[in-house]
Amino acid sequence: MDHGLTVGPLRGINDYHKIVEMVVDGGANAVLGHTALFLHSKYEGDKNFGRILHLSGNSDLSPNINYKVIVNSVMDAVKFGADAVSVHINIGNEDDSQMLEDLGEIAQECREWSMPLLAMMYPRGENIKDEFSVENVRKVARIGAELGADIVKTNYTGSIDSFKEVVEGCPVPVIIAGGTERNIKELLQLTKDCIEAGGAGVSFGRNIFQSRDPIALTRAISLIVHQKYSISDAISEAQLKIEGK
């Protein structure tokens, strides 16, 4: 839920407290966001979940949307009691060398503080013709692992066989982004294919918090990821209605 910094107050994250309650009750392992998530959300249930402080970002008002700057620190995460930190790195644009340097420095700090690091690694910029090609995705995933990430988040390459190449080429767990708006069956199929390819899980934003029923949708995804449910069984068990979005 780092979207508020990049694109503003999207529908679904106006009330941090409400959406955190919903996705955690649905079975999400962790929630991710900037400082506001830690300052303005509370969870009053009895479920354990991780909180991830996102350390990088920019605004879509910026002339270079692909350049992510460091806006938080590992020390901030320690003070907040965060369970992990994350950074967003775009490879293939004129500023990627600075982002790589930032990733290396943050990874070093994370090792000093025993803080898990999630690296969002995307092939994105003027040198990239295809953000979803297996060649590009497997390369950026490996870059994240090489510089010290504990988990890499990246694009799904479109097929189980091609994504297997990404997973096999990366020595740390790989999870996928949700990307553009999808209908429920597409999102569940994406989740299922990722797991079958050897992916460790998913990291979805708008497709969850802007859905009609975030609790049921999160529960269905959790059943597929953790218990290897079929799509139809996950829909049934989660009592998920698939009409609309």
Per the annotation, the verdict on 122 as an active-site residue is yes
In a domain, 106, yes or no: yes
pTM for this prediction: 0.95
Query: Domains in the chain: how many in total?
Result: 1
Which position among 68, 96, 122, 156 bears the catalytic label? 122
In a domain, 245, yes or no: no
pLDDT number for residue 55: 98
CATH of the domain at 33: 3.20.20.70
- Angular region, 132: left φ>0, alpha ψ -120 to 50, beta rest: alpha
pLDDT in tens, 169-216: 999 999 999 988 899 999 999 999 999 999 999 999 999 999 999 999
pLDDT for 245 beyond 50: no
pLDDT in tens, 44-100: 888 999 999 999 999 999 989 999 999 999 999 999 999 999 999 999 999 999 999
- Any bridge partners for residue 69, and if so which? 57
The range of the structural domain enclosing residue 11 comes to 3-238
Per the annotation, the verdict on 18 as an active-site residue is no
Per the annotation, the verdict on 2 as an active-site residue is yes
Q: Which amino acid is at 62?
A: S
Which position among 16, 150, 153, 229 bears the catalytic label? 153
